C-alpha cells in the first residue's frame, strides 16, 4: 500500500468542543496544503473506561473531558517527514494564532504502515 497513516488520541475539555473544531479545521487546511490526503477528527461518542487499559486511561481523561480520535493519511512517510518542519513553522499553527483547546502533553500519536486495506 502506498500511503502512510498518523494516528492521534487526545482528551479535550467537553466545554471546548466548538473551540476544538475551529482549531482542527484550521489545522486541516495547513496539513492538506502540505500533502495530507485525508484529515479526520472524531469526537468520542462511545468510549468506555477500561480496567487495564483504554483510550480514556491512555490520555488520562478527566470526567469533564471527551476523548478524540484522529488520523491523517499521507502519500508516504517520506512526504510526511519532508514537510513536517514546514508545517511546524506555519504561523497559522502557532499557539498565539490557533491555541490548542486541550492539554497537548496528554496527546498521543504514532505513525503506521497499512497492512490491510479492504
CA distance 12 to 24: 12
Nearest of 37, 38, 41 to residue 100 by alpha carbon: 41
**pLDDT tens, N- to C-terminus, the chain (118 residues):** 699 999 999 999 999 999 999 999 999 999 999 999 999 999 999 999 999 999 999 999 999 999 999 999 999 999 999 999 999 999 999 988 889 999 999 999 999 999 999 9
pLDDT score of 16? 98
Enter the pTM of the model: 0.92
Helix%, strand%, coil% for the chain, nearest 5:
35, 25, 35
Cell of 19: 473551540
pLDDT score of 79? 97
- Could you report how far apart the first and last alpha carbons of the chain are, in Å? 11
The enclosing H or E element of 12 equals: strand 4-13
Distance of CA 52 to the CA centre of its chain: 24
Amino acid at each position: 500500500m502506498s500511503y502512510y497513516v498518523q494516528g492521534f488520541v487526545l482528551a479535550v475539555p467537553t466545554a471546548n468542543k466548538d473551540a476544538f473544531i475551529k482549531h482542527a479545521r484550521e489545522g486541516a487546511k495547513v496539513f492538506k496544503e502540505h500533502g495530507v490526503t485525508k484529515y479526520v477528527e472524531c469526537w468520542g461518542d462511545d468510549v468506555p473506561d477500561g480496567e487495564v487499559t483504554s483510550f480514556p486511561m491512555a490520555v488520562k481523561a478527566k470526567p469533564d473531558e471527551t476523548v478524540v480520535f484522529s488520523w491523517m493519511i499521507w502519500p508516504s512517510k517520506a512526504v510526511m517527514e519532508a514537510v513536517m518542519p514546514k508545517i511546524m513553522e506555519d504561523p497559522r499553527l502557532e499557539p498565539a494564532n490557533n491555541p490548542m483547546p486541550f492539554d497537548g502533553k496528554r496527546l498521543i500519536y504514532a505513525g503506521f504502515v497499512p497492512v490491510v486495506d479492504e
